[in-house]
Amino acid sequence: MDYRKYLVSREPKEVELNIEGEVLKIKIRALSWSLKNQYVSLNSFRDDSSKFHFDVDGYVRSCLKYMIVEAPWGETNDIFLLQLEESPLSQALETLVPGPWEAKAVNRDELKKDSRPSLQETEDPKT
């Protein structure tokens, strides 16, 4: 198996966002599975009554600050992101961010059977 096909690319890629008929070109880098999980953890908390809370804004800003490496506005930082209004630009940027609990679909038919015997295979049917 070639594990390298499952690694994120280190090279930024140029993406074009269509914003109200205009093309905005930016360069983004891929967000690894582990880094996405770190951002989810950093933006999740339980209050005093043990209710779970998730800071969507913090998660989206964390991801965008990491992912966008080149853009017409310069550095993508909190100052820039906090100034954005609800607009086609902010909506387009949000589409770049993976959902916090989103996983890539796995075709189960392509998964190879685990080489370890299952519990059913190891149990003696007479017991």
**What whole-number distance in Å separates Cα of residue 50 and Cα of residue 47?**
5
**What whole-number distance in Å separates Cα of residue 45 and Cα of residue 52?**
6
- pTM for this entry: 0.76
Confidence at 30, pLDDT banded by 50, 70, 90: very high
Indicate the burial class of 89 (C-beta count within 10 angstroms; 0-12, 13-18, 19 or more).
middle
CA neighbor of 59 nearest in space, from 100, 12, 105, 115? 100
**What whole-number distance in Å separates Cα of residue 116 and Cα of residue 95?**
40
Percent over 70 (pLDDT), the chain:
80
**Per-residue confidence (pLDDT) for residue 104, from 0 to 100:** 58
**What whole-number distance in Å separates Cα of residue 77 and Cα of residue 2?**
36
